[in-house]
Amino acid sequence: MAQQTETVRRTPLSRERVLSAAVVLADESGVESLSMRKLAQQLGVVPMALYKHVANKEELLDGMVDVIVGEIDTGASGDDWKSAVRQRVLAARQILLRHPWARHVIESRTNKSAVVLEYMDAMIGMFRAGGLSVDLTHHVMHAMGSRMWGFTQEVFDDSAGAAAEIPPAMLHAMAEKYPHVMEIAMRADHDDESVVGQGCDDQFEFEFALDLLLDGFERLHEQGWTSRGRST
Amino acid sequence: MAQQTETVRRTPLSRERVLSAAVVLADESGVESLSMRKLAQQLGVVPMALYKHVANKEELLDGMVDVIVGEIDTGASGDDWKSAVRQRVLAARQILLRHPWARHVIESRTNKSAVVLEYMDAMIGMFRAGGLSVDLTHHVMHAMGSRMWGFTQEVFDDSAGAAAEIPPAMLHAMAEKYPHVMEIAMRADHDDESVVGQGCDDQFEFEFALDLLLDGFERLHEQGWTSRGRST
DNA sequence: ATTGACAAGTGTACGCCGTACACCTACCTT
DNA sequence: AAGGTAGGTGTACGGCGTACACTTGTCAAT
């Protein structure tokens, strides 16, 4: 009678199954509420089972980043380096936008996996192929910062969108205390002759900054930049 | 005999005392190991006592950011807007460097305190005083991102400094897999004719990117920038 | 001098977390 | 048939944030 262990013997765990379940869970309810226990439950397994596939939670997060970075479209393009980089970064952005938690996780990771190193190596290669010197490329990569992953750290919170729900009295008080902030927030909010609509257009802001940087890189490159201001 | 409750009745807690003790603790052992319980112990008090002065841990972190931001030297300068902003940002950087944990905390905060809003308002004011339009200033602030606090998100980890401790065999393997990364890492590492010394010079990288951005802002401003590419 | 309100600090307890460690069990190799 | 091994289990521990009920010390009004 001994029934076949269970109806059909569920598909076994694997590192891949663990990681992608974790990504799904983070997409759904945020990375801050992702726990080994909830992840295990989702997979119909006891928490400790996960530890046969990932060393610990840190490594789980590393793996999740790899999954995301692996999704980035790295289709080659024969364009000039600027367009190539631009295209790659915007492709990364498309992916990152679908996994809002990834921003935070990427920033907090300290070890770089093979997948991440490959991505970075390829991007460095784009600048080098464009003729930028090793040194200039080095600085340029630093200047890119997390923008190479397609996100800005949104220090400048979208105070505009929220303005609608703030009582007028408080709005007035804020306008007195933070006149410049309000000026910008209000403009972004109801500037009817612009495209923005609600709040401000994150995509526009991102491309604005990206192009500013790329143009700056190009200018330095054309001027034959060499460690200005440093002794030879 | 009843001794006077305790030798001398310790100085009472206060929000300020709690916050600055938290800052000290984070400076010493990192923000990730800062807990309400350890903080309480440090203050010679039971954990729940803290909750009379901060609502919860989130608010504690907010308050810690305020302490740091409050330290930033905001001495006015009569210079042109570019130098003024540059000076302010580098002042912020000096403070942030002394509190490495603040980077992460500032980035993860979602609510902006009065102190933070004041800082941002002042910085916006600098651009406006320099004659930049509201729109341009808006985009410029986005482009600054967390650089306005004096830090870059160090996505590009200092692989150079670490290279010294990696066995040559692995170094060789890495050079084959990530040639461009290695090229940069090695150059930054033992480029004897540069100032850099060990690894790469973070301060230089920061100023490089900051100046690139500021120069870009200036150029756009001089060209009378108006929402390029957007319909009127 | 008595009262009583109120702010500050305490003690206990709950539910969550990551994970060490010993165990079982199914399967594969020989 | 024997035994090694990889994958899944169960129990348990110490740490976390914090709810809630409590004592205590202080001071103003009576």
Q: Measured in angstroms, what separates residue B50's CA from nucleotide C18's C1'?
A: 25
The reply to whether A67 and A167 lie within a common domain is no
The reply to whether B90 and B41 lie within a common domain is no
ipTM: 0.90
What pLDDT shows up at residue B191? Answer: 55
The reply to whether B74 and B136 lie within a common domain is yes
B164 pLDDT above the threshold of 70: no
The reply to whether B212 and B172 lie within a common domain is no
The reply to whether B72 and B148 lie within a common domain is yes
Is residue A10 situated within a structural domain?
no
B182 pLDDT above the threshold of 50: yes
What are B106-131's pLDDT values in tens digits? 999 998 999 999 999 999 999 999 99
Tell me how close the Cα of B227 comes to any Cα of chain A, in angstroms.
9
Write the CB contacts of B11 (distance below 8 Å, at least 6 apart in sequence).
B17
The reply to whether A133 and A97 lie within a common domain is yes
- For the domain that residue B111 is a member of, what is the CATH number? 1.10.357.10
Read off the DSSP letter of residue A44.
T
Q: What angle do CA A150, A153, A157 make, to 5 degrees?
A: 125
Find the mean pLDDT for residues B7-29. Answer: 88
Find the mean pLDDT for residues B75-94. Answer: 93
Residues 12-71 of A with CB under 7 A from strand C: 33-38, 47-48, 51, 56-58
Which region among B81-85, B155-159, B215-219, B227-231 has the lowest average model confidence (pLDDT)? Answer: B227-231
Q: Which long-range contacts (CB under 8 A, 24 or more apart) does B112-115 make?
A: B112/A157, B112/A159, B113/B62, B113/B63, B113/B65, B113/B66, B114/A177, B115/B65, B115/B66, B115/B69, B115/B70
Is residue A106 situated within a structural domain?
yes
Is residue A24 situated within a structural domain?
no
The reply to whether B78 and B165 lie within a common domain is no
Find the mean pLDDT for residues B159-185. Answer: 82
Is residue B10 situated within a structural domain?
yes
Give residue for tokens 């992953």.
A149
Question: What is the average pLDDT score of chain B?
Answer: 88
The reply to whether A101 and A167 lie within a common domain is no
What domain count does chain A have?
2
Read off the DSSP letter of residue B228.
T
The reply to whether A124 and A99 lie within a common domain is yes
Tell me how close the Cα of B9 comes to any Cα of chain A, in angstroms.
40
By C-alpha to C1' distance, C12 is nearest to B48
B103, A170 contact by CB (below 8 A): no
Q: Number of residue pairs across A and B with CB atoms under 8 Å?
A: 165
What pLDDT shows up at residue B185? Answer: 87
CA dist B8 → A22, B4, B16, B49 (Å): 54, 7, 21, 19
Of the pLDDT bands very low, low, confident and very high (cuts 50, 70, 90), residue A159 is: low
What are A181-231's pLDDT values in tens digits? 999 988 766 555 554 445 689 999 999 999 999 999 999 999 998 865 554
What pLDDT shows up at residue B115? Answer: 96
What are A49-63's pLDDT values in tens digits? 999 999 999 999 999
Q: Residue A182: which domain range?
A: 159-190
What pLDDT shows up at residue A131? Answer: 97
The reply to whether B205 and B102 lie within a common domain is yes
The reply to whether A103 and A74 lie within a common domain is yes
Tokens matching residue A96:
């990152």
